[in-house]
Amino acid sequence: MNLFGVMGISASGLSAQRTRAEVVASNMANAESTHTAEGGPYQRKEVVFQSASPSSFRIQLASSSASAFIGAAGGVTVRSIVADTASPIQRYEPSHPDADANGFVSYPNINPVLEMTDLMDASRAYQMNASAVQAAKQMIQQSIELLK
């Protein structure tokens, strides 16, 4: 593993955690959405990660001068964003426009505490990847200084 490979892996982590934070923000923003274009309440979304193959990084960085240095780097990619299958929360609100015949309204099954925990986790993972990029950058700069 070389320093450019480390930067490639960290870059993939930055991208994946940014996507995760965006999905969590969307979940929080739609916590009270009782009606969507598909019908029914908003469904909580989750991000599914998977290991990235080294060849996918060579393809992604083909236009970059660093692509020749990626070598055996791995990383992470977002495989998919899936809808949570938990059933909606039913609240009795007969005057609500989305109430059913019995007066119940279906709300998304979104736990704000869980969402904030996920957001904090994504934020910390993003920070750690950013720190790894900074450390690799400093090592590259120090290596250049040694060659002078």
Considering only 14-18, 40-44, 54-58, 105-109, which range has the smallest mean pLDDT? 54-58
Closest alpha carbon to 53 in 73, 25, 79, 39: 73
User: How much is the pLDDT for 53?
Assistant: 72
- Cα 10 from Cα 134, distance rounded (Å): 10
- Summarised one tens digit per residue, pLDDT across range 70-104 is 444 578 999 999 999 999 999 999 999 999 999 99
Q: What percent of the chain has pLDDT over 70?
A: 86
Q: What is the pLDDT of residues 36-69, one digit of tens each?
A: 988 889 999 999 999 987 655 555 555 444 444 4
Task: Give the per-residue pLDDT at 107.
Answer: 95
> Would the pLDDT of 2 be above 70?
yes
Cα end-to-end distance, the chain, whole Å: 24
* pLDDT on residue 73: 56
Give dist(CA 110, CA 84) in Å, integer.
Answer: 10
- This prediction has a pTM of 0.79
